[in-house]
Chain A
Amino acid sequence: SQQGEEDPQALSIQEGENATMNCSYKTSINNLQWYRQNSGRGLVHLILIRSNEREKHSGRLRVTLDTSKKSSSLLITASRAADTASYFCATFGNSGYALNFGKGTSLLVTP
């Protein structure tokens, strides 16, 4: 069953602004991952944060994880038009065999 739920479902910002999207999940996890999907393409892995980590950075990406609230956030700083895509969080449980994906946040970055 789908465990991650992203919020908001859709987000529209201008180039240069920051984009923040949130993910909530239901059960205990081993790690949480964020993926990007450009229109008509497959998903691409962005970043992974383990359950014992609170924050992680990768380039313009910043991910936080709060296991007490079962939530995570993805911040994209200084957004570019090329960041326009759908973003999915996915959780990997302690006893799981596969990732559970949320429904995604659709991000539109306008020039």
Chain B
Amino acid sequence: NAGVTQTPKFQVLKTGQSMTLQCAQDMNHNSMYWYRQDPGMGLRLIYYSASEGTTDKGEVPNGYNVSRLNKREFSLRLESAAPSQTSVYFCASPNRDRERNEQFFGPGTRLTVL
């Protein structure tokens, strides 16, 4: 099992360009999340999907859109990238099992917007 995978690992964009970050999990979890991590800020939730077909805004959704393509895949789209979106983006999927309630994280996408 690969757990949570993300592509790409690195990306450099110019202001105004668009891109989609891909995330997939092979753990058969219902929920998936997108976070961004900035220095000194910890992780902040951008969007989440509690189940296939549903998405909801998190703490910092502005400038982003998401698509829960199927149970495995949850993508994050930047329609018009801005320098403020320079960050490390993590996809995560929680295990809602009764005894364990941990989140599994992908390796991250390091995005720079010039």
User: Residues of A with Cβ closer than 8 Å to B?
Assistant: 1-2, 4, 31, 33, 35, 40-45, 48, 88, 90, 92, 97-99, 101-104
A44 to chain B: closest CB distance in Å?
7
Contact A92 B41 (CB under 8 A): no
B 21-51 binary contact with A (CB < 8 Å = 1; else 0): 0000000000001010000111111001010
B61 to chain A: closest CB distance in Å?
13
The DSSP consensus for interface residues of chain B is strand
User: Residues of B with Cβ closer than 8 Å to A?
Assistant: 4, 33, 35, 40-45, 48, 50, 56, 58-59, 90, 92, 94, 100-108
Contact B41 A42 (CB under 8 A): no
Number of residue pairs across A and B with beta carbons under 8 Å?
Answer: 53
Interface centre among B50, B94, B106 (most CB of A within 10 A): B94
Contact A97 B105 (CB under 8 A): no
Contact of B100 among A48, A97, A101, A104 (CB under 8 A): A48
Extra contacts, 12 of them, besides A1-B59, A42-B107 (Cβ < 8 A), are: A33-B101, A42-B4, A42-B105, A43-B43, A45-B102, A45-B104, A90-B103, A98-B58, A99-B94, A99-B103, A103-B42, A104-B42
